[in-house]
Structure 1
Amino acid sequence: MILGLVILGAYSAYKYAYKPHKSINELEVKFSGTSDVFLDKVKEDVSLWQDVVVELTGTITSIDKKGITIDSSIYCQLETATAVEALKEKQTITIKGRMIGYDDLLEEIKLDKTIIK
């Protein structure tokens, strides 16, 4: 009886600690708009936007193997590298991603788990 409770407790703790991560599609968007407006909001108070999911519209200014830069101020690390090949600079897109940081010296926001809408 006690052994059964211990096993059940250990199994429950394991499932809780190692539950699968939610995909970016399942997470709620806290801000939706243009990249310029979002950059202004982040400059006001960075702490409000840390680890928040956003949906932004902007123009691609550069592309690398792992992601894109929108409007020269938001670097988006894409969830899948294959998506980069279909993109072109000066293309207007809408993305959804999670903010992981802000570099106030370069005035650059970093997003991860980014998908293209």
Structure 2
Amino acid sequence: MKKIALIVVVILIIAATGLYFYMYQDHRDIANEDASFSLTVKSLETEFSQNDSLANKKYLDKTIEVYGKISSLDLPINAIVLDEKMFGTFQQSVPEGLTAGKQVKMKGRFIGYDDLLGEFKMDQVTVSE
């Protein structure tokens, strides 16, 4: 009886340890990941207008690079908007030197399309010119 109890305790400890490491994995470092896709805001918009469910399967939660012109910057919330359609948020502050009208390449995690605002959303954004 003691052997069975010992085996059950060992199995529970192993299962709890495995569950802990599964639940608390390291977070993704989007800035150091290679982009799965590289495209313009217009081409992303075209793909979503043709078949949004297929486009969601293709891009959702993937690291993508998007090219476009800066429409606006929102410094208080560390956000950028490209071509009036792609909204991205930085983890830290907005990098200096960015101005409206400038062409940039933005890399981040694609988190979806907001039907209400008509915008694509990205987070953990980094920008290069």
Aligned length: 116
Structure 2 vs 1, CA of residues 29 and 82 (structure 1 numbering), >3 Å: closer, same or farther? closer
Query: Which aligned runs of 4 or more in structure 1 are off by greater than 6 angstroms?
Result: none
Q: Give yes or no for contact 1:57–1:95 (8 Å, CA) kept in 2.
A: yes
Shift of 1:55: 0.6
Shift of 1:9: 2.5
Q: Which runs of 5+ in 2 are unaligned?
A: 1-5
Matches within 5 A, 1:9-88: 9-47=15-53, 48-49=55-56, 50-65=60-75, 66-83=78-95, 85-88=96-99
State the one-letter code of the partner of 1:116. Answer: V
Q: Give yes or no for contact 2:31–2:124 (8 Å, CA) kept in 1.
A: no
**Alignment identity in percent?**
30
Structure 2 vs 1, CA of residues 62 and 31 (structure 1 numbering), >3 Å: closer, same or farther? same
Shift of 1:6: 2.9
Q: CA RMSD in A?
A: 2.1
Aligned counterparts of 2:65 and 2:103: Cα–Cα separation in 1: 13
State the one-letter code of the partner of 2:30. Answer: I
